[in-house]
A and B are shown apart, each in its own frame.
Chain A
């Protein structure tokens, strides 16, 4: 029986420690992992918890991230609660198996510490790996700080493992800016956390020898489409309600309120930034500053990145006049992903704000208060003119001549 860990009411944890403590408290049966910067400490902390008797489950060191996710698929199909962690190149190497996991409807929890993708090689945070996962059939939750990395990791088990959902869940946090920044975190006690996550109830476990099942079968044009369509249908219809239910249960337990789309000062906002990760909080702080100089600023942030919350985004932007979509990933030949999703959400809306796109922060480039102020000022001009006063896509914080398109 695993030993319990005494935790303070307020701990000073970085995002990695927060995620590894949540994995420990969920009493995962199998973690198969291959550590990679900046998520290495998640796996490292976890293995030391295990070595010190705080975890009953198995920890399997494997030879690559491909093998790590393959080990997770095997263990989850066998009927265990399963989790792992990765970043960047490791995430990219896992990509093939990510689709296997979601296609086999295995509720694995993957804590992703977001990092840039090479080349050029870079260990710092951006959202390239998170965006790489967006068609993989996983549920993607996004944390903006260490507390949320902890909270969402606990909630991820309850969302993904529910028998009406049965889908794997990624919990994203920003590399270094969250993963290596120690902040105040209020943890639950081990008993409270485990009671919240609940005991794992496997479905179609391969180790249930009384009821033999097959995983990883081949289906050609006869059945493949139906399987994929059903997975998509479940993502589109079953996940939102379950996420809301788990968010509500978590609020009852902790007082900490989460929403599928977070809104900050949007009641009367005329201009809004939409962003992911730590940038959300910096933008919120700057929105307050802008109000002191007469710009009615707000911030909208998708807590759930997949499935994409069309209705909630539409509602959050139902009154605003100008919107900036901030993408921390190089779109490499298109407008940014957030821009595309947000404009698609707004196309069916009665409100049609001016929407522009900013690419920023690649490879850990700092996103500063001054950057956010500049964006809000440009939005204010767009709102007043009722049309874009800047090019549609601009690069922020880039050295050299200003880069923009359309």
Chain B
């Protein structure tokens, strides 16, 4: 069982990202879950979203998890949210930031000694999609760090997930995924 926790602000697309990932993964015959804690959260409020992936049908409906990956798509949440909650020794962190890894860890000592990767999903989405929607670039970074799928395969699968959108939007998302894939460190 692979478990992923997203830290996001409502409106940044974590739920869409989690569902998109679930959709892509399901096409390989695996079983998936994508869910979120909403409450009465308003746009901009800190929130978490989750993925589970397994080879067998997923019966577990608890919200609690020890994540294999923590994806932070809003830079501020590294400092204000409990992003290391219920971590494992092997938990990998992929964090949206304009800082280098060393600068980030210096500013958030909780990440000292952890498996941390940085990628500037905000700048990437602004440059490619034209809006601060950091979810698809984060998926590109996750593909690189996890080795879950080759870039080409993932992009093709995401194209069909996004097929209801205009071609321009699909192209922009593909560019965002590729740039994040190549720039995550």
Contact = CB atoms under 8 A, between A and B. Distances in A.
Interface of A: 10, 12, 14, 123-124, 174, 176-177, 180-184, 278-279, 281-282, 284-285, 366-369
Max count, chain B CB within 10 A of own CB: residue among A14, A180, A184, A369: A184
Contacts, number: 66
Contact of A369 (B34, B40, B60): B60
B63 interface: yes
A21 to B, nearest CB: 15
Interface in B34-88: 34-36, 38-40, 57-64
Contact of B60 (A10, A180, A182, A285): A285
B40 A366 contact: no
The size class of the interface chain B forms with chain A is: 20 to 34
A184 B59 contact: no
Contacts of A366: 62-64
A12 B38 contact: no
Contact of A12 (B34, B57, B61, B63): B34
Given A285-B60, A368-B64, A182 B39 contact: no
Contacts of B58: 183
7 contacts: A174-B61, A177-B35, A177-B63, A181-B34, A284-B59, A368-B62, A369-B60
A114 B64 CA distance: 20
A180 B38 contact: yes
Given A123-B40, A181-B34, A281 B61 contact: yes
Contacts of A176: 35, 38
Contacts of A182: 18-19, 22-23, 32-35
A181 B33 contact: yes
Contacts of A123: 38-40
B167 to A, nearest CB: 20
B60 to A, nearest CB: 6
Given A181-B61, A284-B59, 20 more contacts: A12-B19, A12-B26, A12-B32, A14-B35, A123-B38, A124-B39, A177-B61, A177-B63, A180-B35, A180-B38, A182-B18, A182-B33, A182-B35, A183-B34, A184-B26, A184-B32, A282-B62, A367-B62, A368-B64, A369-B64
A279 B23 CA distance: 24
